[in-house]
Amino acid sequence: MKEETNRARRPLAVLAALGGTAVLLSACSTIVGTTEPTATGRDRALPLGSEKVTLDPKDFSVEITNRYWPMKPGTRWTYRESDGSGGVLDVVVTVTGDTRKIANGVTARVVRDTVSQGGAIVEDTIDWYAQDSQGAIWYLGEQTAEFENGVVTSTAGSFEAGVDGAQPGIVLPAEPLPGQKYRQEFYRGQAEDNGEVVSVTEMATVPLGHFTEVLLTRDTITIEPDVLQYKLYAPGVGPVLILDVAGPSAGREELISVTVVPSDTGTGPLGEPR
């Protein structure tokens, strides 16, 4: 899930806390959080940290319909990512028609995330997602590679739930409520990402348009404690804006378009997404 790992480097915003209201300001968008009902003990428990979970494969589906990130095969999101120093990356995320049975027994949807600069691939990832019967999206692992001049330079962060102690995590709860905290992935020393729901009443403006009733999450990385990222998900669309507020480099990732492509798009090997 590269937004939280190697590409989680986008601080182009200023966060101001005013009582119970969070205000996030950036060059091209304004996100205003308001006081809302928060998560309570009645909510289904979400995994945290290195906590082990045992998932029943019968409780999961590759049909992902969560309102904040519906993943219909053939859907493609195209983003523009700026690195804060004038560099621009093209990010393409494609829901493929492929599925994969993960080591923990759950069958997952295969999603491709390819990052290019000047037409050359610099990072390519195959992600595995599934939705439980309550509607939560789970992250079950990834195969990822970084490239330089067409040559793989790193596969750090790759993991599969059920292999070598790796545990699955939550990408989005079934019914997000402010205050919910959860781990997104856990592979000790390699992938230890966390999420927290901040608000579900935000607004965001990106090249694709203006969105309301947007979900705002606060994402951190246990093994990179200086990194802090905010993600905004529009109902019926998915992630529309990603911002760093702390980390080693500046940047922002904003949604340019959502299109439909053939379901076999993105099914090639790493470095050759097709």
Do 4 and 229 touch, CB atoms closer than 8 A? yes
Task: Please state which CATH class domain 13-35+58-256 belongs to.
Answer: mainly beta
Segment 171-175 mean pLDDT: 97
Interval 10-67: pLDDT, tens: 323 323 322 333 333 333 333 333 345 444 433 458 999 999 999 999 999 999 999 9
Mean pLDDT of 178-190: 96
Pair of tokens at residue 101: 């049975």
Predicted confidence at residue 250, as pLDDT, reads 65
Q: What is the pLDDT of residues 220-248, one digit of tens each?
A: 999 999 999 999 999 999 999 999 888 77
pLDDT of res. 195: 98
Cβ-based burial of 100 (10 A; exposed 0-12, middle 13-18, buried ≥19) = middle
What pLDDT is recorded for position 9? 31
Assess whether pLDDT exceeds 90 at residue 8.
no
Q: Domain boundaries in the chain? A: 13-35+58-256
Give the residue-averaged pLDDT of 132-146.
97
pLDDT at 6 over 70: no
* CA–CA gap between residue 210 and residue 208 (Å, rounded): 7
pLDDT for the residue 248? 72
Mind listing the pLDDT tens digit for each residue in 191-217? Answer: 999 999 999 999 999 999 999 999 999
pLDDT score recorded for residue 274: 86
Which of the two residues, 14 and 264, has the higher pLDDT score? 264
Q: Give the confidence band of 151 by pLDDT, cuts at 50, 70, 90.
A: very high
Phi, psi (deg, nearest 5) at residue 59 = -90, 5
Can you tell me the distance from the alpha carbon of 3 to that of 17, in angstroms, rounded to the nearest whole number?
Answer: 25
